[in-house]
């Protein structure tokens, strides 16, 4: 916080006195991190103000340990209300407040890569100060329609169930929604880990925003990213559970501001908001302290606008604007699977689709526990490579048919042969879509595995041996068909020659591993 204050003071000094606002006011009331100020007639929303914590007495000045800044969030008839960003204990009634004439901004730039920072851009990882390159306003108007282009480049998550059925494109806003402990953060982190397999020149910069999360969880995440070599292209913005509500409120906007820096340079960036449920709670707390009238579930009336102006900043820019993109993966926590609650319905209506994680599937051992029936991507196949598009066409339909028939599995002895065959195929397909945590797959590997499932190569493999089949198949391809996977990766599709190679490799694999064919034809 002290470094942020020093940098901000230097920035203000660069402005000519005529360009700075000379408005002053007086604190009339302070409590719970919110101050009410009389005066500041020229104040604007989101403007930074400075609390004058020392008078003219030199001794009094020497006792001052730091300046305290605040951000204006309420403009009223005679007063303004401010959230305090520093130590609220230093702010008292009767204190003078000066307007800075500047809206709240944070440092952004390449120097932040691999670092853990606060919503104000302060380093939290103990690795020293971050060299300031540029400052971006924490809130800014989203790009308009004419500055954008359609989403058409895939963002591979490394998760088979998502990349095949619910594809995400660069510049999209895809919601991850579900109850506690259903694997929402795991899906997001696997997406960051999977970018390691992308070419370095087109690899997205990944920004993870932790809002109200336990510090131990964030520390484990940072350790995992460092261990897997993913921290070098990642930035962590941390406003933990012990952080003031003001910082939890600012954190997602800080993540968006950092992502926009890379987007404006023509690069791709991914920002994960974990999670917006806690963000809404922090904003509700601030709003009630600011004396704003409560609405449904005590949330303020502009809670929808809060999240819409945040998520609208995700975009795929036009070529004239550099062609950069900012992809948003907001996370929402539901209660008992209730997607019709206030905050979930708000965010669902803002985003371009949702990945719904279901507790029942999680308890059955399905990882990731994605309900393909109500999960959707409104960008669709335009955010898929031709290879994935070719192999994934039948999956959703076959899974839907399997879910319908699954209820009759206990009566399988009474089912006709065709129905039993469909159920067996559905079980094998479900097994194919299972995936271990922290084990994302490059798209060409996913394409080969799914191809073997939908083209009937698993027909004689028992469902419980599908993971073994997958593991041995990939080892076989690495040893005996070394050019196949790189060929698919380079072409981004399974061309006719590549398909012939793949079929030959699969037949050869099954011939050399007869032990896997444990099911009678």
Active site residues: 378
Identify whether the C-beta of residue 309 lies closer than 8 Å to the C-beta of residue 142. yes
Identify whether the C-beta of residue 205 lies closer than 8 Å to the C-beta of residue 259. yes
From the list 156, 69, 155, the residue with the least C-alpha distance to 104 is 69
* Euclidean distance between CA atoms 453 and 221, whole angstroms: 33
CA atoms within 13 A on the CB side of 330: 32
From the list 167, 326, 338, 352, the residue with the least C-alpha distance to 260 is 326
* Euclidean distance between CA atoms 282 and 521, whole angstroms: 59
Identify whether the C-beta of residue 93 lies closer than 8 Å to the C-beta of residue 29. yes
Q: Alpha carbon of 48 to those of 13, 40, 105, 154: distances in Å? A: 14, 12, 9, 39
* Euclidean distance between CA atoms 175 and 178, whole angstroms: 10
Q: Which residue has the tokens 């708000």?
A: 346
* Euclidean distance between CA atoms 328 and 146, whole angstroms: 20
Sequence length of the chain is 521
Q: Please, what sign has the CA dihedral across residues 273, 278, 281, 286?
A: negative
Identify whether the C-beta of residue 328 lies closer than 8 Å to the C-beta of residue 314. yes
Identify whether the C-beta of residue 119 lies closer than 8 Å to the C-beta of residue 251. yes
* Euclidean distance between CA atoms 23 and 337, whole angstroms: 50
* Euclidean distance between CA atoms 400 and 398, whole angstroms: 5
From the list 233, 268, 273, the residue with the least C-alpha distance to 249 is 273
From the list 251, 228, 215, the residue with the least C-alpha distance to 331 is 251
* Euclidean distance between CA atoms 404 and 406, whole angstroms: 6
């Amino acid at each position: 916080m002290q470094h942020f204050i020093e940098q901000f003071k230097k920035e203000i000094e660069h402005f000519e006195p005529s360009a700075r606002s000379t408005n002053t006011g007086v604190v009339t009331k302070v409590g719970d991190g919110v101050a009410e100020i009389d005066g500041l007639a020229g104040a604007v929303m989101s403007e930074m103000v400075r609390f004058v914590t020392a008078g003219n007495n030199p001794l009094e000045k020497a006792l001052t340990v730091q300046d305290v800044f605040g951000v204006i969030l309420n403009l009223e008839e005679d007063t303004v209300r401010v959230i305090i960003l520093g130590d609220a204990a230093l702010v008292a009634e009767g204190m003078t407040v000066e307007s800075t004439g500047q809206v709240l901004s944070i440092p952004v730039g390449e120097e932040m890569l691999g670092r853990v920072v606060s919503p104000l851009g302060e380093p939290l990882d103990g690795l020293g100060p971050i060299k300031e390159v540029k400052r971006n306003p924490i809130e800014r108007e989203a790009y308009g329609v004419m500055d954008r282009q359609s989403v058409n480049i895939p963002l591979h998550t490394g998760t088979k169930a998502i990349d095949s059925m619910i594809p995400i494109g660069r510049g999209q806003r895809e919601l991850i929604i579900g109850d506690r402990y259903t694997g929402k953060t795991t899906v997001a982190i696997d997406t960051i880990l999977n970018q390691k397999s992308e070419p370095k020149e087109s690899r997205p910069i990944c920004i993870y925003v932790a809002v109200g999360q336990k510090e131990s969880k964030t520390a484990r995440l940072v350790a995992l990213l460092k261990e897997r070599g993913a921290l070098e292209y990642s930035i962590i913005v941390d406003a933990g559970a012990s952080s003031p509500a003001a910082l939890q409120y600012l954190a997602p906007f800080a993540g968006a501001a950092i992502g926009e820096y890379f987007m404006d340079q023509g690069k791709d960036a991914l920002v994960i908001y974990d999670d917006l449920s806690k963000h809404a709670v922090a904003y509700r707390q601030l709003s009630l302290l600011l004396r704003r009238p409560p609405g449904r579930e005590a949330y303020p009336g502009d809670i929808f606008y809060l999240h819409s102006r945040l998520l609208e900043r995700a975009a795929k820019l036009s070529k004239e604007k550099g062609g950069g993109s900012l992809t948003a993966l907001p996370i929402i926590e539901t209660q008992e699977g209730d997607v019709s609650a206030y905050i979930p319905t708000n965010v669902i209506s803002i985003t371009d689709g949702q990945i719904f994680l279901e507790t029942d599937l999680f308890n059955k051992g399905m990882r990731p526990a994605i309900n393909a029936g109500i999960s959707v991507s409104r960008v669709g196949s335009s955010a898929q490579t031709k290879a994935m598009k070719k192999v994934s066409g039948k999956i959703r339909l076959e899974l839907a048919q399997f879910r319908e028939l699954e209820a009759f599995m206990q009566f399988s002895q009474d089912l006709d042969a065709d129905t039993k065959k469909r159920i067996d195929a559905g079980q094998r397909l479900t097994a194919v879509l299972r995936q271990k945590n922290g084990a994302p797959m490059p798209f060409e590997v996913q394409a080969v595995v799914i191809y073997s499932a939908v083209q009937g190569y698993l027909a004689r493999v028992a469902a419980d041996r599908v993971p073994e089949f997958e593991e041995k198949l990939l080892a076989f391809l690495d040893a005996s068909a070394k050019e196949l996977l790189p060929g698919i990766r380079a072409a981004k599709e399974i061309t006719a020659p590549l398909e012939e190679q793949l079929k030959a490799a699969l037949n050869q694999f099954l011939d050399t591993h007869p032990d896997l064919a444990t099911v009678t034809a």
